[in-house]
Amino acid sequence: MPPRIRTSCRYMELMPFELLTFQNLLPAFALVLARVSGVVIGVPMLSSVQIPREAKVWLTVTLSLMVFPLAAPHLPVGLTLGQSVVGMVGEFIIGEVIGLGTGLVFVAAEVAGKLVSHQAGLSIGTTINPFFDEESMVLDQLWFFTAAMLFLALRGHVLVVTALLDSILTIPPMMAHIDNSAGEFAMAMLQSTFQLGLRIAGPAIVALMLTSLVMGFLTRTMPQINVLSVGFAIKILVALLMVSMTISASEDVLTHAMQLGFDQISALFEQMSEVIKRGG
C-alpha cells in the first residue's frame, strides 16, 4: 500500500466519527436544534426584536452544537428524517416550557407595573417598548428592566443553559410525554405570575387606595375642590413615590420569582421522567 494511502487510513482511524457519514447525524441533530430553538424563542431577553435574527440563528446553532455531544448517547438509533420532523414538535415544546418558566420573573414584573399604572391612571399614556417593539406603560418597562438586570446579576442566563442540559438527561429526545402535568404546570405558572405581581405592586396599590379614600372624604367636606384635576396629579405622585421606595426593596420577591420558575420547570420534568420510567 502506498505511504500516502496508509497515512490517510491512519487518520480515519483516529477520527471520532467518519466525516463522510455526518449527514446521518442530521436527523438527530435536528431534535436538539428544535429544543434549543424553543428556549431561545421562549426566553424574553433572547426574543427581543433588538437582537438581529442572524445573531439568534447563530446562537441557536452554536448552543445546539455544544449540547449535541451530551445528547448523542440518548438519541434514538437509526432515526429517519420523517421521525425527526415529528419529534421536533415535541422538542420545541420542551424548549418553550423552559423559556416560559424563565420568563416568570419578567411577566410578574410587568403585571406589577400594569396594576400600578391602572390604579394611578397612567394606563391612558403608553409608550413604545424598544425591547419588543410594542406599546406598553412606563412602569411596565421600569419593572421589566429591573427584573432583567437582577436576572443577569444572579446569573440567570447560566441557569437557563443548566436547565437545558438537565432536560436532555431527564427527558431524552423523542421521549417526552405530554399529560395532565403540562396543564398543571401552565395553571401553576399563571397563578404564580399574578401572586408575585400582586406582592410586588402591593405597597403602591394600598397607598393608592388610601389616597382615593382620603380624596373621597375631602370631596364630601370641601365640595369646591376639583377632584378630577387635583386628584389625578396626586395619585400619579403617590404612585411614583411608592414605586421608587419599593423597587429597591423588591429584590427578594424578584429573586423568589426567578427561583420559583426554575423549580416548577424541574418539577414538571421530574413528573415526565417518572412517566418515561414507567413506560409511558
- pLDDT tens, residue by residue, 220-242: 777 766 666 677 778 888 888 88
C-alpha 77/C-alpha 186 separation (Å) is: 33
Q: What is the pLDDT of residue 18?
A: 43
The rounded Cα 25 to chain-centroid distance in angstroms is 29
Give the pTM: 0.76
Sign of the CA dihedral with 193 first, then 241, 244, and 142 last: positive
Q: What is the pLDDT of residue 11?
A: 35
- Note the pLDDT tens digit of each residue in 6-64: 433 443 344 444 444 555 677 788 888 888 998 888 888 777 777 888 888 898 888 88
DSSP state of 16: S
Q: What is the pLDDT of residue 50?
A: 76
DSSP state of 175: -
The rounded Cα 175 to chain-centroid distance in angstroms is 23
The residues near 124 (Cβ < 8 Å, ≥ 6 apart) are: none
Sign of the CA dihedral with 236 first, then 241, 244, and 248 last: negative
Q: What is the pLDDT of residue 227?
A: 66
Is residue 157 over pLDDT 70? yes
Q: What is the pLDDT of residue 4?
A: 41
Q: What is the mean pLDDT of the chain?
A: 78
Q: Output 68 or 127, whichever has higher pLDDT.
A: 68
- Note the pLDDT tens digit of each residue in 129-156: 666 666 777 788 888 888 888 888 888 8
Is residue 100 over pLDDT 80? yes
The residue-averaged pLDDT of 65-72 equals 84
- Position 93 confidence tier, pLDDT thresholds 50, 70, 90: confident
C-alpha 37/C-alpha 63 separation (Å) is: 9
CB-based contact 97:185 (threshold 8 Å): yes
- Note the pLDDT tens digit of each residue in 165-218: 888 888 888 777 767 777 788 888 888 888 888 888 888 888 888 888 888 777
Q: Output 202 or 121, whichever has higher pLDDT.
A: 202
Please state the φ and ψ torsions of residue 86, each to the nearest 5 degrees.
-65, -40
Q: What is the pLDDT of residue 54?
A: 87
C-alpha 85/C-alpha 79 separation (Å) is: 10
- Note the pLDDT tens digit of each residue in 16-26: 444 445 556 77
Q: What is the pLDDT of residue 113?
A: 85
The residue-averaged pLDDT of 73-78 equals 74
Q: Output 94 or 80, whichever has higher pLDDT.
A: 94
Q: What is the pLDDT of residue 16?
A: 47
Q: What is the pLDDT of residue 198?
A: 86
Instruction: Compute how many other C-beta atoms are within 10 angstroms of the C-beta atom of residue 243.
Output: 24
The rounded Cα 101 to chain-centroid distance in angstroms is 5
